[in-house]
Chain A
Amino acid sequence: MATIGYSAILLTFVVSLWAVLGFVIAHSRGYKELSESALRAVQAAAALVTLASLSLIYLLLKRDFSVDYVFRYTSTALPPLYAFSAFWAGQEGSLLLWLWLLSILTLLASLNLGREDEAVQDYALAALAGIEAFFALVLALVSNPFAFSLRFHSEGLGLNPLLENFSMVIHPPTVFIGYAGLAIPFAYALAYLLAGKPLEDWIKKVRPWAIVAWAFLGAGIIIGGWWAYIELGWGGYWAWDPVENSSLIPWLTATAFLHSAVVAERRHYLKGWSFLLITLTFLLCLFATFVTRSGIIKSVHAFAQSPLGFYFVAFIAIWALLTGFVAFKNRGSFASKKVESALLSRDTAFYYLNWLFFGEALVLLLGILFPTFSSTFQGQEASIDVSFYHQTFMPLAAITVLLLGLCVSLGWGTTSAKALRRALIPVGSALLGIVVPIALGERSLFPILSWGTVGFAAAGVIQELARGVREFIRKRRLIPRPYGGYLVHAGIVLLALGVIGSSFYKAETLVSLKPGETAEIGNYVLKYVNFQHQSLPTKERFLAQVEVYKDSRFLGQIRPEKNFHFNVEQWVSEIGLRSTPAEDLYLIFIDLDEDGTASFQIQVNPMVFWIWVGGGLMVLGAVLALWPEGGKEWKS
């Protein structure tokens, strides 16, 4: 089976390369019949990669330890779901997953449901086949999931216990669908330029692709944060770790692209920006894959060093040069229509939005690369701590959220005095956001400014939604597309609320309790009843029973665990959590003494709940935004 898988990967490389050559020759030399053959090669590549992936799944489920990858990430005791998810537990399988998803998406694109122009279609498929060829080459040469073990093993090492969590089953594929999906708008961007077609049509074509991929990437990031919160047991959801940041960067540039694309489609400028942003997004997706899977970056969850870096850097450089060259040769396509727009207009807001997202992405990228830079140029390795991101990323994010609250008051091109008066409501709400916390005793500057910002944005979002409802009543016709955007914005506001609550108002205490003793935090009283012990085949399991009381009312029991996993010979904690919209009670079981004394870290994390709700709302918004038509009728 391993041989079949490996052969399929080799063949994928060959047919993908053939597809690239076939499409290019078909159009540059005029051998139209070659394009038919290249199209079959694209379909064959999808079939071959699927075969390779199914082989790996089969080997994993069968626990065939003669294959090194299966040996390293599974064991006989591992439940089938996690054996299946071990597919993407390591570098080799993750790259295969990337390729698999890309080949399926490429197959979807090749069906040409949009009745695309032949040249455009062929160039786009050529670009996608080129990306597939790269991944197949890497899998064949440096990162082979089908490599045999050098020794006989009767048992596998098993999955890292931290990855045995349902969110880790779905987080990597969700992110990878985002990455692979963002390759499609990029490929079509090149194709429209090469075929000399107007970029406005490109945007109409790729908008659904970009929105779906953007939503998947965003959902994947949120699920990753959820996993960190539930499984890593430090009470946070975002550690500004290079691996996390690297997935956020292409999401930011993709968000900028989606906004820029609106302007390009309706107002016929920012076309160059849109093209640049989607190119950067694609290259940054490659970079993120490389960061996560190569280990050049010092990170808690980066993988071991490998020669992968060379291949990725070279590939990113090739695409950057190629795209730059194509863009330069066809620079006429970026010509904008002359538009008159006042300084105070939605146009200005969108223009600055591009710079803001661009700046945010740049800051994160700098943070990731800084240790590498400093060891290269200063001879001494330095690292950056979280305060760097607080100082640079957060102000930019705050201004972005402010703009969100303003956009409903601004019109395209020019803003009428009447429209501008609408902005009085967000301003009032911002003042309220500042005054109320001060009245309640808040004295620090950053929380106060943050509440003001969110107050401003929240009022703007409510105005947007209210206007949508009024419009619906007036026209008696529902046009879902704009509501998508409103919902995404509402999601952002909720997410911001959650971030503010949990960053500024977190309470934390460390306690050591004998059975029957209690501890207090905020309004809560926690009573440590006792512990239970179970011996399981894979682990020794210790459960603490803790009763939770609030204002002397019994709320229930939570049971954090501390387990010794035999495969990694290590203790792994499972947190106890009681989540409510107002706040989470978060309990980490730190230590258990022989006499039954247990130590706990207890946290009260306010409003974390809204981060997940906000994330869900953004995905829902993306679904609505996919609704066809309607966009034209929406004028302000």
Chain B
Amino acid sequence: MAADASRRAVLALVAGGLCLALAMAASLLARTGALSTAEAWHALTGAATSSSAHLIVWGVRLPRVLAACACGVSLAVSGALLQAALDNDLASPQVMGINAGAGFFALAGTLLFPFSGVARQLMALVGALVSTLMVYLVARRAGAARTTLVLAGVAVSSLMSAGSNAIVTIWPKTVVDKLAFSLGGLTGATVSQLTLSAPFMVAGLGAALLLAPGLDLLALGDETAIGLGLDVRRHRVVAIVCAATLAAAAVSVCGMLGFVGLMVPNLVRMAVRCGLRWGLPLCAIWGAVLLVTCDLLARVLFFPYELPAGLLLSLLGAPFFIMLLMRRRRPR
């Protein structure tokens, strides 16, 4: 990679690290209700006198911040993988119906196996893969895989969302907060959920890093990539499965959170013109920054009321999606 692009990537990585540290600190120490920033700091450093402060910081805020980081990383990397594998900057786990599929199957898992977190996790993975397969088959049948992929995703997403809505309507006790689940948010994120999802996230991220150099070749077109020694079909399938795994792991923790996987990879590409070897770590860190910040804002903007983080992301993401659509129509 050219030296100036490497410099920009390193700068963006350092800036992302600083922003993430700030966002995490703000999220852990924010003054809300009876807990002041100083009390939160004392609780964090182990000098708290009040057990409730300790419980809020260590039992509620820290798991929530960690969950926001993990989900932000997973969703952003998932989006980057999909966009590279399909050579389509509109692709993302939400747009392609992967989130909705994982959400529907996770709800079905909760219904069928109410005491098994592992079953819920595996069902989310199956749902993500089923959605991906459906989108792929519909797009392939339609004859123009890349251009119709997004539309096929919208159709499959609607179908899966209808399934989720049916479950929460017929069995309303399946999810404690159905609005938070469908919009996406971290209100109910727990350490146990995160622990169950973590192996899938780690495996997905590891595989993504190994896939990155090959995915960069896909930007040159399939024929050129094959000529350079890439097994294009296998690489593409593995990348999509990896993206679905990451999205499913995130959805199990934070519900059907949208637009992280769409916005972050596109913004990273606009800011730093680099391949995925740098692009994936950048997406990971800025995905975490975005979600931790949105979660913090969702908590404090209208305190004592709390917005689902997914609502804020939709407010940011929907105009961004429209901007991408308009940019694609302009001649280059």
A binds B: no
Spell out A's residues near B (CB within 8 Å): none
